[in-house]
Amino acid sequence: MLKRWIFLITGLFVMGLPCVWGQTAEEIIGSAIEKTGGTAKWKALNGFRIKAKFDQGGIEFPLEIVQLKDGKQYTKLNFQGVEIKQGVYDGHILWSTDFHTQDPKKADSETINNVKLDANDFPDDLIAYKSKGYKVSLDGMEDFRGKTVYKVKLVKEPLTINGSKTDDVVFY
């Protein structure tokens, strides 16, 4: 009987070690934020611009993404000399360029409301996630480009898709 108790207690202790001494999702997020400048510097950002190029079938396309603190944003790509804007949001209306007609097309109210939710997360979903009521969890480890990394799950405010509330889950 004593051996069973010792085995049970030892087993519980060993299974509990990762929980006691392992990193939590909160610690991983905090460390990542600090290593990239800290919360104060992230919150001080007024906007950012990303310039890139992507290759599609051997053709290179320039791309520019701009996002501002007040929620305004756009994505612009150049397709064989034609400038196409997608996801242009002025804080009230969201529109994109129709690829066939090249005319601006206004988004429906459901899509606009989802973009407004996303704009609340500037400059990043993980900055002040607790105060927004988001939930995080550590979903283990996985291989990313030959390195073992933590997999963190973030559950944000639900989005509305086709009239139904849907969990907005992001993995890092």
Out of 15-24, 29-38, 74-83, 125-134, pick the least confident.
15-24
- Cβ of 46: how many Cβ atoms within 10 Å? 9
User: Per residue in 89-125, pLDDT tens?
Assistant: 999 999 999 888 889 999 999 999 999 999 889 999 9
pLDDT at 7: 42
Residue type, 22: G
- Cβ of 38: how many Cβ atoms within 10 Å? 12
Rounded Cα–Cα distance for residues 6 and 14 (Å): 12
User: Per residue in 134-169, pLDDT tens?
Assistant: 999 999 999 999 999 999 999 999 999 999 999 999
pTM reported for the whole predicted model: 0.74
Distance set, CA 169 to CA 33, 103, 155, 158, 159 (Å): 20, 33, 5, 9, 10
Residue 54 — very low, low, confident or very high, per pLDDT cuts 50/70/90? confident
Out of 33-42, 76-85, 152-161, pick the least confident.
76-85
pLDDT at 36: 93
